[in-house]
Amino acid sequence: MEREVRVRFAPSPTGALHIGGVRTALYNYLFAKKHGGKMLLRIEDTDQTRFVPGAEDYILNALAWVGIKIDEGISEGGPFAPYRQSERKSMYMQYAQKLVADGNAYYAFDTPEELDRMREELKAAKVASPQYNSITRVRMKNSLTLPEDEVKKKLEAGEAYVIRLKVPRKDEIRLNDLVRGWVMWHSSTLDDKVLMKSDGMPTYHLANVVDDHLMNISHVIRGEEWLPSAPTHVLIYKYLGWEDTMPQFAHLPLLLKPDGNGKLSKRDADKHGFPIFPMEWQDPFTQEFAAGFKNEGYLPEALVNFLAFLGWNPGTQQEIFSMEQLVEAFTIERIGKSGTKFDINKAKWFNQQYLKEKTDDQLAEYLLADLAKNNINCSLEKAAAICGQLKERVIFPQDFWKDGKFFFVAPTVYDEAVVSSKWNAEVANIIGQFGSALQLAANDINADEVKSTLNVVLEKNDAKIGKIMQALRVCITGVGSGPDLMQLIALIGSHETAQRIAQAIAVLNNKVQA
Ligand code: GLU
């Protein structure tokens, strides 16, 4: 019988969720939905020293914002509750003890000073990466080297200990990864990872494997940075006798810096001026704010579409995919092996495509919200018409106000380059006549009427429209390019336009004379 697909997203609440984490969650979600399976959210908080208040809520909110729905987890509950590892603390020791009893793990009593000394000695002996492993463990204080009764005494006396995995000296560990195919490690390159810490908490390695097993996880889809942990996990599955139901693994390609050189970090994102977190995050310790895709104006559906393509492709030319279409198209086979460059311009492109798809009335809501913040009244109808004029150019919702401010506010500065190349007495004269004509016209005017009013003036002066067009635009908006000028004037109204023209002529003629 085919195994039910059950995947999990298992973040540690150590800060804001990185955008790469959102991609991992997304791929898990797409895979689960595609196969009619379940998506779990498990919080891996066994490292109490790295716990950051607020991080867990942040993760939940970020997943909800991008539209990833969780079937079982800390908020939803489920048949394998609790889904927070700190609340499962009492479950793990029995598995560590079974490993010890079977000779696959051992107690280690080394103090931090003793461990430091071991590392120093190895360094002095030019060992490249000093490790507690099959070679060095014979010199340390553990249940492999100490007499049995002494171990017993120490345990009874409550002496601090950890439990370490006993990695065989010579073995080959293999894993058939769904993304990279067969991967092989020599056990001699692995260290004897701590499984239980002296505070009674399991480490990530033990808790992760035990929970994936107990929660009946069928596929582990996670970032490539976890690939080095995989052989340790494979050994634990084997030693606990769980090989038959071991999940299948898929390690996702790394997200690379924009230039493709190395792993993407927050520093790189800061340097290039783009966010690395889905939503804004305030560090609870330093109070520092970090930007998020949400507050920068990215739409969740655009971000999802962008992230889906960071490491996966549908094998066709189609680029725009709704969440439902992604679920339909997604396969692990089409995930690439090599790292993928983080191109923020592509994210912007997706955002633009999704914004353009919205109706003018929907877009007007963005503009109206910004207008309200600036105490400017505007009808929905007018706001929608303005958004209609701007929608081909904007990338973010806030651009309607930023790029369309001139619909509401007269310019105070005029583009120098246009003025110096296009402004002269004749141009000023024609534009002045047009202003006067507008002043006499009805305030409510449509684009065709604006055009014929302008044509009358041009004919009278025997001038072509090209002569004055850019200068006229600068008088009204301050800048040399923008949406259709006739529409723009109609939306601003003839009287306000006439006033702006008069004002501009006064300023610019003065300037030219000076
Ligand atoms: N707790 C790990 C993390 O923070 C989970 C890694 C895994 O998926 O196994 O990403």
**Pure H helices in 204-308:** 204-214, 230-239, 266-272, 300-308
Find out whether the beta carbon of 12 lies less than 6 Å from any atom of ligand 1: yes
Q: In this predicted structure, what is the pLDDT of residue 510?
A: 80
Cα-flanking dihedrals φ and ψ of residue 255, to 5°? -90, 125
Dist CA 172 CA 346 (whole Å): 42
Domains in the chain, ordered, with CATH? Answer: 92-252 (3.90.800.10), 361-513 (1.10.10.350)
| Strands 281-282 vs 289-290: parallel, antiparallel or unpaired | antiparallel
Kindly provide the residue ranges of all beta strands, DSSP E only, lying in 127-262, ordered along the sequence. Answer: 162-165, 172-177, 181-186, 194-196, 219-223, 248-252, 255-256
Cα(78) to centroid(ligand 1), Å: 20
Dist CA 423 CA 505 (whole Å): 10
Could you read off the pLDDT of 379-404 as tens digits, one per residue? 999 999 999 999 999 999 999 999 99
Could you read off the pLDDT of 476-502 as tens digits, one per residue? 999 999 999 999 999 999 999 999 999
Find out whether the beta carbon of 13 lies less than 6 Å from any atom of ligand 1: no
Dist CA 410 CA 167 (whole Å): 74
Find out whether the beta carbon of 141 lies less than 6 Å from any atom of ligand 1: no
Find out whether the beta carbon of 226 lies less than 6 Å from any atom of ligand 1: yes
Taking the CA of residue 8 as reference, the ligand 1 atom at the shortest distance is 8
| Cα 195 to Cα 58, 128, 138, 187, 210, distances in angstroms | 28, 24, 18, 17, 11
Cα(126) to centroid(ligand 1), Å: 33
pLDDT band at 512 (very low <50, low <70, confident <90, very high): low
Dist CA 241 CA 244 (whole Å): 8
**Nearest to residue 304, comparing CAs of 71, 69, 74, 75?**
69
Could you read off the pLDDT of 130-146 as tens digits, one per residue? 999 999 999 999 999 99
Taking the CA of residue 220 as reference, the ligand 1 atom at the shortest distance is 8
CB 335 within 8 A of CB 253: yes
Is 154 considered catalytic here?
no
Kindly provide the residue ranges of all beta strands, DSSP E only, lying in 82-171, ordered along the sequence. Answer: 105-108, 162-165
Give nearest CA residue, ligand 1 atom 2.
11
Residue-level length of the chain: 514
Residue entry with tokens 């994936």: 212
Q: In this predicted structure, what is the pLDDT of residue 514?
A: 58
- Give the pTM: 0.93
Give nearest CA residue, ligand 1 atom 5.
10
Q: In this predicted structure, what is the pLDDT of residue 403?
A: 94
pLDDT band at 218 (very low <50, low <70, confident <90, very high): very high
**Nearest to residue 379, comparing CAs of 484, 493, 501, 295?**
493
DSSP H or E segment with residue 435: helix 425-440
Indicate if the pLDDT at residue 513 is higher than 90: no
Give the chain's radius of gyration (CA, Å). Answer: 32
Q: In this predicted structure, what is the pLDDT of residue 348?
A: 98
Dist CA 168 CA 11 (whole Å): 30
Find out whether the beta carbon of 40 lies less than 6 Å from any atom of ligand 1: no
Find out whether the beta carbon of 305 lies less than 6 Å from any atom of ligand 1: no
Find out whether the beta carbon of 11 lies less than 6 Å from any atom of ligand 1: yes
Q: Which of 204, 221, 229, 232 to mutate to test the pocket of ligand 1 (most atoms within 8 A of CB)?
A: 204
Cα(11) to centroid(ligand 1), Å: 5
Taking the CA of residue 10 as reference, the ligand 1 atom at the shortest distance is 5
Planar angle of CA 215, 218, 224, nearest 5 degrees? 105
Mean per-residue pLDDT of the chain: 96
Could you read off the pLDDT of 62-74 as tens digits, one per residue? 999 999 999 999 9
Could you read off the pLDDT of 285-330 as tens digits, one per residue? 999 999 999 999 999 999 999 999 999 999 999 999 999 999 999 9
Q: Which amino acid is at 496?
A: E
Find out whether the beta carbon of 231 lies less than 6 Å from any atom of ligand 1: no
Cα(210) to centroid(ligand 1), Å: 13
Find out whether the beta carbon of 438 lies less than 6 Å from any atom of ligand 1: no
Could you read off the pLDDT of 403-459 as tens digits, one per residue? 999 999 999 999 999 999 999 999 999 999 999 999 999 999 999 999 999 999 999
Could you read off the pLDDT of 112-126 as tens digits, one per residue? 999 999 999 999 999
pLDDT over 70 percentage in the chain: 99
Cα(253) to centroid(ligand 1), Å: 15
Q: Which of 89, 263, 266, 341 is catalytic?
A: 266
> DSSP letters along 294-330, please?
TTTT--HHHHHHHHHTSSB--SSS-----HHHHHHH-
Dist CA 384 CA 406 (whole Å): 15
Dist CA 36 CA 38 (whole Å): 7
pLDDT (average), residues 217-223: 98
